Structure formats: C-alpha cells, structure tokens
Structure 1
Amino acid sequence: MSKQIAGIIPIVAAPFTSAGALDEDSFQALVRHLLGTGAQALTLFGLATEFYKLADAERARMQALLLAETSASAEVAGVISITDHSWELAAERARAAEQQGADAIMVLPPYFLGPAEPAIFEHLRRVIGAVRIPAIVQYAPAQTGVRIAPDLFLRLRDELPNAEFVKVETQPPGRYVAQLAERSAGRLRALVGYAGVQMPDVLARGAVGIQPGCSFTEVYSELWRRWASDPAGFHALHTQLLPYISYWMQGVELIVRAEKVILKRRGIIASDYCRSPAYALDARELAQIEQFLESFAPFLAR
C-alpha cells in the first residue's frame, strides 16, 4: 500500500520528564503506539508538539527517531513541519527532512512582525521548491495573526507541483476549504486541524484529512471509518466527542496539557509535563478528562 497524506494525521506531542528534559523513551513509545492507531501519517513540530519550546538539538533527535519509525512502516507517512521564519533556514531544514526520509513537509508561513504577502509567497515558494516531496502549508491566522487569501495558495500550486495541500485553521474553516477545492478544480487539497471540532462540515466540503492531537487517535480513526461507511454512526460519535474537544480547543496550551494528561493516564508517556508558559488544569478540568476516558474506554483499550 502506498503512503498517503490523507485521513487521520495526528500531531505528535513532545514528552518531557518531570524535570522538563526531553523524554526520548516516552517519545519513541508514543510514536510506536501511534503507528498502530489507524493513522495514515504522523506530523512532527506542529503547535501541539510545542515546537516553540524545543532546542535545535532536541528537534534533530526527535526528527531522527520519528522518521526512523515511519520509514520502516509500509503504510504510515512521516510529515515534518518547517517553522523557521527565514526561508534560508527553512529551506535547509526542509531539504534535511527529505534526505532523512520524510514523506512530506508542512510549512508554517512567516508571521513575526507582519510580513507582507509577497514576502510570504516568496518564503513558501523557496521552501517548498527546495524539495520534491509533497508540501502542506499551515494556514493558522488565529495563532499567527496573518491572513492569507486563497489566491496565494492557487498561485503557489500553479508554480510548484508539490504544493498540494493547505492545512486550513480559519474559524470557521468550511468555506475556505470549499473555495480552495472549487477555485483549484480539485488540485489543492485541504486538511483541517482544530481537534476535528468542525469535522462533519469540512469533510462534507471536501477536506481530505484531519490533523488533531495524538492522545486519542483511535477515536478519530473510528470517525474516519464511519464517515465512509456509517454516516449515522459518525455523527453520533462526533456528537459524543464534541463537548470535550470544543472545551479543550479554547486554547492551544489548554489542549496540549489535556492531551498530555490523557497520554500519561493511558500509560503511553511517563509525565504530562509542559514547558512554561503552560496551562494548569484545575480539579474540574481533570475530572472532565477522567469522564472522557471512561466514556471512550471501548476505543482506547491497549
């Protein structure tokens, strides 16, 4: 089976020890766990990886560990997110990821100090053009403060054959997903994050995959299966999940912490430590996680 950038593509968390050091053993255990959850690909260095709190040496080690596992898998692709703000550094990092065996890259456009659209386009053109593997552009205006019109992505697709995907994280995302599909005649494909809160709408509008966190990937994989074969079951399961993910997605640091608590409770990682600044869950929020684990236990048995 050829590897595909579609379906459920979780963002892999960065486990730390209780003292705040990178926990390589927990990271490797997490990656190996995710390979068996029905995910079609794994993405490293998204917002849910806390990439903005990692040292270069830690990033290099995590990338090597993840790509060793995905390269050995016949089915699960490895996606490396490129977050450097200058295209010179980003292109170098993209080439290194491709050489190490990445199946695709995801590029976060520059946003610090509000770059103009021509500079954003040039950054994306240079970085994506530096590799041959497929590229996803992460469009997250709420997190970056930078808005990008669909025309920029269409121009990029016309110029670069591997500029195939946009991760749409507008609020709401559905119309943007539909615009990309319609205006590119299907040549641009959309993925959507935000924990899959809007999963029913974006899939109906043509999104080809979801990029959630990684603590309960089995639930998302079941949703993906039901979308294709059991619409009523899909909507029932998504309705059951929605109160939890809609609460956690009120903030990036909130959902990062919640997902790490879930991973620890499931015995997948050793500590739920988040590097500061981080969100501290209160007693009610911790109880909500326990309720979630009980409610979804049939999908989460290991």
Structure 2
Amino acid sequence: MTIDATPTTTTQSRASVATAGDAAALVRGISPVLEVPFTSSGQVDEEGFARVVQYVIGTGVSSMMFPGFASEFYKLTEDERRRLLAILLSTTGPRDDVAAIVAVQDHATMVAAARSRDAVEAGADLINLLPPHLLSPSRAAIVGHVDAVLAAVAPTPVVLQYAPSETGTSLDAEVIGDLARKHANLRLVKVESSPPGRLIGELADAEPPLPAIEGYAGVQLPDAWRRGAVGSQPGCSFTEIYVEIWRLLSGGEVEAGEDLHRRLLPYISYWMLDTELIIAAEKRISYRRGLIGSDYCRAPSHVLDAEELRRIEVFLAEFAELLPDLSEM
C-alpha cells in the first residue's frame, strides 16, 4: 500500500481551516491516539494502519492523534512515520468533521519547529507538542522551546502535552497561561499529571480560560470531566467504551457513566502501571477483535505473561456488548 505524501488541494484547504482555529473545536469528547500495527516479522503494516484509522472514525469521534506513545513513535523510522502520516491525512483530508492532530516530540527546538511546519503543510489540523525532557532541560529552556514552536506554526492550533510521569517535565498553570496569552494558537492542554483534576481546573479558571483534555488512558476521566475537561485522549483499541462513558457523562447520565468507568478502571489502572504494558495490552485487544493482523511490538517491549493474557480475555468477555468483531472491516 503506497500513499503519496504530497499535500493535495483538499488537505491544504483543511490546513487553512485549521489555522483559522475551527479545528480546535473538534477536539472534544474522546480523541484516540492511533496505534501502529506491525506484521509478525516487525514491519509496519500500512494496510492495517489504514483500517485502524477507519475504525476510529467509525466510532463517531471528531479527532484523533498520531503519533503518540500509543503509536510507539519512538520505534518508528522517519520514513515509516512519513508514510503513516500520509495515510492518516489522506483519510481525514476530505472530511471537515474529523481533525487530525499530529504529534511532535523532537528534543531540538529547531527540529520540532521544522517538523511542525511540515505537518501543517501536509494537512495537519492541529499540532500536539510534547516539550523536551531528555537530560532534564531547565524550565526556561522548556518554555523557550514551546514558545518557538507556537510561533513557527501560528495560527495553526496547538495542543500542549503535559506528561510529567513519562517525561519528568514540570510546568504549572501560570507558566502555561503566560504562553497562551502570548500565543493565541495555544488552544488546549493535554493533562497527564496524576491526578490531573487540579491543573485542569486551574487552566479553566485562567485568563483566558484554557480547555484541557485528559490523557493517561482515561484513568481519571470522570474527575477530569467534573473539573471541566472537554475531552479525553486514550488509546484506540476499545474506543467504543470511552465514547459510551463520555456520552453518558455529558448526556446527564452521570451515575451510569461513572458505573461504566468503574468497571473499566481495574483493567486500565493495571495496564497504565507501565507504558509498554498498556501498548502491548491494547495491541492484543485489537488483534483479538480482528482489527489488526498481529499484536507484535518492536523490542524492547513488554511481553504479556499468561495472567495478563487471561485478563485480556476476561476484559473482552465483560465488555462484549460494546466491542463488536472488527475482522470484516
């Protein structure tokens, strides 16, 4: 499967819509991070990735992100990343109801700015920016990095990803608020602190108010929702469950939404003990559902043991009413 990465007129026009700020309004509710399927020999499965994109759109979400931790971005070559991004943007490009959020994790400021500009030119609707964290840069250096990337892609909307557990990066509402006041295109913050609720509330009370989305597999989704989060950004192998939780909460059926989340919590709280563990678990779920042809993870990775595999089967049985067979996609 080969897809031309050259931007089409359609994707360019979508980028123009994004720079007007409209795309940020699509980052509401559940916004999955796309997984990358590999063949059993470890090669990128491009057709499988295209199925993943179509599946996620089919769940009714209005945005999706690539490549994040759930995409194993740190195990992809530059060429693989480029080809997969072309597949995503060729699918979202003709649509005005789904936004493609392209993640940038480069440590060097000039590289991050260049990659962000390239993504916008290719048709990305928003940029998700993970601040630098290798070798513990100073807060001033981190702020300078974010400042430069925001300026480089303005007025394209940017989501600032705050993931202290994975990166050790320390920011606060005051610093983020200062950046938002300087850069109107800082439109959302993905909050993955533990717990995320206080920062979500502080951002909502800032001037101007800054919407937040919760990450971290939705472990704190109900609390984040109560504190004003506009969405959640989990992995994508059981998107339907998250969509239903959000539908119930936002539709006034709060008790039912919290009950469904309580059923899910024992699984995701265990899987989120380690990033590689939840990647392996989600790939296994996608494989068992028939979405992808292999649950291969590139080494080094977490190898699921017999009990972890058994619990995935329990999970699939418990939530069978929400998780249809995807093998006929």
Normalising by structure 2, report the TM-score.
0.89
For 1:66-81, what aligned pairs fall within 5 Å after superposition? 66-81=88-103
1:141-174 Cα offsets, whole Å, 9 max, x none, are 1111121122221111011101011111111111
Give 2:56's aligned residue: 34
Give 2:135's aligned residue: 113
Give 2:303's aligned residue: 280
- Separation in 2, partners of 1:141, 1:227: 27
Give 2:3's aligned residue: none
Give 2:32's aligned residue: 10
**Structure 1 stretches of 4+ moved >6 Å:** none
Change (3 A) 1:140 1:129: same
Unpaired runs of at least 5, structure 1: none
Residue 262 of structure 2: which of 215, 219, 239 is its match? Answer: 239
1:92 lines up with 2:114 in the alignment: yes
Contact in 1 for aligned 2:139/2:170 (Cα 8 Å): no
- Separation in 1, partners of 2:24, 2:129: 23
For 1:47-196, what aligned pairs fall within 5 Å after superposition? 47-131=69-153, 132-186=155-209, 188-196=210-218
1:41-68 Cα offsets, whole Å, 9 max, x none, are 1100111111111100011011111111
Give 2:275's aligned residue: 252
AA of the residue aligned to 1:49: S
- Separation in 1, partners of 2:96, 2:172: 36
TM-aligned CA deviation for residue 284 of structure 1: 0.9
TM-aligned CA deviation for residue 2 of structure 1: 9.3
| Count of aligned positions | 301
1:46-94 Cα offsets, whole Å, 9 max, x none, are 1111111110001101111111111122311100000111111111111
AA of the residue aligned to 1:146: T
Contact in 2 for aligned 1:2/1:74 (Cα 8 Å): no
AA of the residue aligned to 1:242: L
TM-aligned CA deviation for residue 122 of structure 1: 1.2
TM-aligned CA deviation for residue 183 of structure 1: 2.4
AA of the residue aligned to 1:124: V
Give 1:262's aligned residue: 285
Which is further off, 3-12 or 202-211?
Answer: 3-12
SS at match of 2:205: helix
TM-aligned CA deviation for residue 236 of structure 1: 1.4
Contact in 2 for aligned 1:3/1:74 (Cα 8 Å): no
TM-aligned CA deviation for residue 177 of structure 1: 0.8
Unpaired runs of at least 5, structure 2: 1-22
- Separation in 2, partners of 1:254, 1:295: 20
Contact in 2 for aligned 1:3/1:77 (Cα 8 Å): no
- Separation in 2, partners of 1:277, 1:164: 35
* Identity, % of aligned positions: 46
SS at match of 1:52: helix
- Separation in 2, partners of 1:286, 1:102: 36
Give 2:239's aligned residue: 217
- Separation in 1, partners of 2:312, 2:230: 29
Contact in 1 for aligned 2:24/2:157 (Cα 8 Å): no
Change (3 A) 1:282 1:219: same
Give 1:298's aligned residue: 321
1:254-279 Cα offsets, whole Å, 9 max, x none, are 00000000001111111111111100
SS at match of 1:300: coil
CA RMSD of aligned residues (A): 1.3
TM-aligned CA deviation for residue 185 of structure 1: 4.5
AA of the residue aligned to 1:265: R
